[in-house]
Amino acid sequence: MQRFLGLCAAFLMLCVSPLVHAEEQPGLAVAVDVHHVAKDLWRVDYRFAQPVTAVKLHSIGKFRQQEWKVLTPGMRMTSDPDSDVIASKGKPFKTASVQIRTFDGWSPKEYVSFNRFGDGGTSVYLGHLQGDVEQGKKTLAMRTDIKLFGLAQENVIAPPANRLEPGGARGYAYFGPSQAVPAGAVKILIDPRTPQWLRETILDAGAKTASYYEKAYQRDLKDELLIMVSVDNFESSGFSMKGGAILGQGQVSYRLEGKQVLLDHPKLRAIAALNVAHEMAHVWQMAVAQGGMRGDQDPWIHEGGAEAMALDALLQTGVYSEELVKAYRAKQAATCEKLGGAVDTYDGIYACGLMRFDKLGVGIVPLWRSMMLATEVKGDPYSQQMIDAIVSAM
């Protein structure tokens, strides 16, 4: 079952942090082979450990209705607003194959299904191939074992494994000519079209905030971290940086779009640096042995928390001046005030989430350090009660 952690928009940027959670739901082993068969054509073969009566995937806009074709004879896909279902008129089956065309659209609250790179490569969000299966009335989460097959001569980079939920959702796989390059503690795959200023900003903010979080929160990364950057749509107006930490899987993916991507301006550098610091904060929020965040539970905690952690890291590492931090806080405070302090909207989760952390009157570093320790004890997710207990003991 897919749940979404929510997303954040600041100025012109978006960062999406969905997370798939099985919540102790029973699972069924599924082998998934992904073959890149032609430039914009993919074939996915599912093999189930036991017969199933349906494959049920959380709906991703029009992606599957437009681009998926069921190849297995006798089977078809039907869609409702919440899900796409592949079935064979109720008859059990053990295999299913689909053909997929590269999809250039995306839904604002979802990961982008495909990213095109300037080197001709493509990254595929594997999570959109994953979901649940049904055995009659019983629903089981897929426990997937994914294998990737590129075109001849093509390099394939698999996303790091899902450590917190083995067999659970995976991030982006890259198919193309490039290799990921080690940069300090992380590996990075960067679109050759990425302008120098953005390359510098992402690498600099990434390296500085990562080493700051490591020291401040007294934790090393639990996952090998792979950062992917793609650039597209220079024709569209403005500047958009859509980033997502793919949680528990050691991956951060950024997609940059718009004319202003080519423009080196301090304001855009500041937006990009904050986005990087925010996503890296999520990586540390999930650098725990168990527990962490749950998509359906108080998203203001991890999003507002990431905002507060990011501002602290940017200030302490000198990436942001005090004035810049103040200006951002003031802007978010104004947004939150307009929303009456509520955290039930897209903007409220981030703006009012940040305000809630600010109002606690405790340091963000000791607070989150304690939250990370607390979540690990029994695997309870981050929650308001956890914060209250920690703050009252401080």
Interface with Zn ion by CB under 5 A: which residues?
8, 15, 17, 303, 306
DSSP track, 64-110: HHHHEEE-STT-EEEE-SSEEEEESTT--EEEEEEEEE------TTS
List Cα–Cα distances, 303 to 8, 76, 294, 347, in angstroms.
Answer: 7, 39, 12, 10
Identity of the residue, 15 or 365, whose beta carbon is nearer to Zn ion in the bound complex: 15
- Report how far residue 1's alpha carbon sits from residue 296's, in angstroms, rounded to the nearest whole number: 12
In the bound complex, what is the minimum distance in angstroms from residue 135's beta carbon to Zn ion?
A: 35
Q: Which is nearer to Zn ion, 19 or 34 (CB)?
A: 19
Q: Which of 17, 115 has the CB closer to Zn ion?
A: 17
**Radius of gyration, CA atoms only, the chain:** 21
Residues 6+ apart with CB under 8 A from 86: 54, 55, 57, 70, 75, 76, 77, 96, 98
Residue 17 C-beta: closest distance to Zn ion, Å: 4
Cα separations in angstroms, 30 against 49, 149, 238, 241, 256: 6, 17, 42, 34, 34
For residue 152 the two structure tokens come to 């001849």
Of the pair 300, 320, the CB lying nearest Zn ion is at 300
Instruction: Say how far apart CA 141 and CA 248 lie, in whole Å.
Output: 17
User: For the chain, first and last CA: distance in Å?
Assistant: 37
- Give the contacts of 77 (CB within 8 A, at least 6 positions apart): 64, 65, 68, 70, 84, 85, 86, 98
Q: What minimum distance in Å lies between the beta carbon of 188 and Zn ion?
A: 20
Question: Which is nearer to Zn ion, 167 or 304 (by Cβ)?
Answer: 304
Q: How far is the CB of 2 from Zn ion (least distance, A)?
A: 17
Closer residue to Zn ion in complex, CB, 17/162: 17
Measured from the CB atom, the residue of 48 and 106 that comes closer to Zn ion is 106
With respect to Zn ion, which residue has the nearer C-beta, 142 or 210? 210
Q: CB 15 → Zn ion: shortest distance, Å?
A: 5
The residue among 117 and 368 lying less far from Zn ion, judged by its C-beta, is: 368
Strands of 102-250, DSSP E: 114-116, 122-125, 132-135, 138-149, 155-157, 172-176, 181-183, 186-190, 225-232, 240-246
User: CA-CA distance, 89 to 79, in Å (whole number)?
Assistant: 14
Shortest distance (Å) from residue 375 CB to Zn ion: 17
Residue number with CB closer to Zn ion (268 or 276): 276
Q: Nearest approach, Cβ of 254 to Zn ion (angstroms)? A: 13
Instruction: Report in angstroms the alpha-carbon separations of 247 from 278, 300, 342.
Output: 13, 16, 26
Pairing outcome for strands 155-157 and 172-176 = antiparallel
- Shortest Å, Cβ 385 to Zn ion: 22
Measured from each CB, the residue nearest to Zn ion is 17
Nearest-approach distance from CB 377 to Zn ion, in angstroms: 25
CA dihedral (271, 275, 280, 284) positive or negative: positive
* CA dist., res. 128 & res. 124, Å (int): 9
- For the bound state, the minimum distance from the C-beta of residue 102 to Zn ion, rounded and expressed in Å, comes to 26
